[in-house]
Each structure stands twice: as structure tokens, then as C-alpha cells.
């Protein structure tokens, strides 16, 4: 595998590893809410993180989060988008390693599709968190992007740019081979 193919595939592989890091944090940013008095935690400290893997598998791992949010009733839009993003990243690992323009086009396409899915995922998480939050807490809950989501966004952007460059170059080296004519375009060999 050439360096260019390996580089694009590595970007997608690193993005897959970042699914283990926090993608989004959800926090309560304000006043006291009656439902949380029995938690024994000040509202300003009610905070939890969702990793990419949590989003793919539909988990809310933190006990405080379960108190803050109503029960999840099956896969929602956020989980479907997280699964689609995971599939795009895994496909990017495999398909961006194809030789020549095909690998470049695959890397660029999957990088762009993955980036769009990540942006839609951020919006879906925000909407679902606010829909599933206990009614009296909706106005004081916020969702923030975390290191995993920012890292995946950066890597998908880099994969898009690198894949585009590979696609336009055709995946071949720009150096002249041993039989290429010199810069002036004239052959140095004598005609018989």
C-alpha cells in the first residue's frame, strides 16, 4: 500500500478510535429543579458525557443522566445517525485504501458524507436531549461538542481534502519516470 493510500485509511482508522472518547457533554446550567433535590448534587454539577460508542449503542451510562432524562424508548434519530457515521468511517478505512483515483474518490466522498453525518448527529443529540429532558429542566440543559466529535470532524475534513487531492492527481506520483522526456518535451534519443 502506498503512503497516500495508507495516510487516508489511517485518518479514518483514527476517527474510529475516537468513538471511544466523549463526543458530547450534557449539563444542567442553572437554577435548582425540584426533581433533582433527592439526587444530592447541585444542579450546576449535573453533567455527563456521551461517547461515540454510547451513541451507536443507545446507552446513557451515567446514573445522574438517567435521573435528568426520561427513559429512551428505542433507537432515535441520533442513534441512527451515529450508526451511519460509524459505517461511513469503517467504509473509509477499507475503501480509501483502493489504488489510484478510486481510493481518492472514496476517501473524499466518505470524508464529506461523514462530516455531514457528524453535523446532523450534533443537532439530533441536542434535539433528543431537550425532548427527553424532564419538562421543568429543558431551559437549563445544554449540549456541547467534546474532544471526540471535534477530532472526528478534523480527521474527516483532512480525509476529504487528501482524498480530493488523490482523486485529481490520479493517485500516481508526479515525479518523472526513467523514460519520460525532459522538461522541454524533446526526446534525447536519436531517431534511426
Is the residue at 192 inside a domain? no
Residues with Cβ < 8 Å from 52, sequence gap 6 or more? 18, 19, 20, 21, 23, 82, 85, 86, 148, 149, 152
State the pLDDT at residue 175.
47
Which residues are 50's β-sheet partners? 24
Cβ atoms of 8 and 164 within 8 Å: the answer is no
Q: Could you report the per-residue pLDDT of 105-121, keeping only the tens digit for each?
A: 999 999 999 999 999 99
| Cα(72)–Cα(54) distance, integer angstroms | 13
DSSP string, 89-147: HHHHHHHTTSSHHHHHHHHHHHHHHHHHHHHHHHHHHHHHHHHHB-GGGGGGEEEEE-H
pLDDT higher than 60, residue 29: yes
Strand order in the sheet with 22-28: 47-51, 22-28, 141-145
pLDDT higher than 50, residue 174: no
Q: Could you report the per-residue pLDDT of 42-79, keeping only the tens digit for each?
A: 656 677 888 999 889 888 776 666 655 555 555 788 89
Structural domain of 122: 3-169
State the pLDDT at residue 120.
96
Cβ atoms of 79 and 55 within 8 Å: the answer is yes
Is the residue at 71 inside a domain? yes
Is the residue at 185 inside a domain? no
Lowest mean pLDDT among 17-31, 122-136, 167-181: 167-181
Is the residue at 63 inside a domain? yes
pLDDT higher than 50, residue 176: no
State the pLDDT at residue 163.
93
State the pLDDT at residue 3.
76
Name the pTM for this structure.
Answer: 0.78
Instruction: Indicate the pLDDT class of residue 16, thresholds 50, 70 and 90.
Output: very high
Q: What percent of the chain has pLDDT over 90?
A: 44
pLDDT higher than 90, residue 89: yes
| Cα(132)–Cα(30) distance, integer angstroms | 18
Is the residue at 38 inside a domain? yes
Cβ atoms of 114 and 85 within 8 Å: the answer is yes
Which residues are 28's β-sheet partners? 141
Is the residue at 131 inside a domain? yes
C-alpha grid cell, residue 178: 526513467
Is the residue at 165 inside a domain? yes
pLDDT higher than 70, residue 104: yes
State the pLDDT at residue 50.
87
Q: State the average pLDDT over residues 130-148.
A: 77
**158: exposed, middle or buried (C-beta count within 10 Å: 0-12, 13-18, 19+)?**
middle
Place of cell 429532558: 133
What's the structural domain count of the chain?
Answer: 1
Is the residue at 31 inside a domain? yes
Amino acid at each position: 500500500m502506498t503512503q497516500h493510500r495508507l495516510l487516508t485509511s489511517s485518518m479514518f482508522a483514527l476517527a474510529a478510535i475516537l468513538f471511544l472518547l466523549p463526543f458530547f457533554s450534557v449539563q444542567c446550567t442553572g437554577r435548582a429543579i425540584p426533581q433533582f433535590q433527592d439526587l444530592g448534587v447541585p444542579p450546576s454539577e449535573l453533567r455527563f458525557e456521551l461517547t461515540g460508542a454510547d451513541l451507536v449503542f443507545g446507552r446513557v451510562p451515567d446514573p445522574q443522566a438517567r435521573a435528568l432524562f426520561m427513559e429512551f424508548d428505542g433507537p432515535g434519530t441520533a442513534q441512527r445517525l451515529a450508526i451511519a457515521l460509524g459505517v461511513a468511517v469503517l467504509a473509509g478505512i477499507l475503501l480509501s485504501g483502493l489504488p489510484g483515483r478510486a481510493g481518492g474518490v472514496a476517501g473524499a466522498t466518505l470524508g464529506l458524507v461523514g462530516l455531514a453525518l457528524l453535523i446532523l448527529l450534533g443537532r439530533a443529540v441536542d434535539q433528543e436531549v431537550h425532548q427527553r429532558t424532564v419538562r421543568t429542566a429543558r431551559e437549563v440543559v445544554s449540549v456541547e461538542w467534546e474532544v471526540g466529535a471535534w477530532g472526528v470532524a478534523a480527521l474527516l475534513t483532512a480525509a476529504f481534502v487528501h482524498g480530493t487531492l488523490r482523486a485529481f492527481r490520479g493517485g500516481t506520483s508526479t515525479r518523472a519516470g526513467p523514460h519520460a522526456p525532459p522538461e522541454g518535451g524533446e526526446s534525447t534519443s536519436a531517431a534511426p
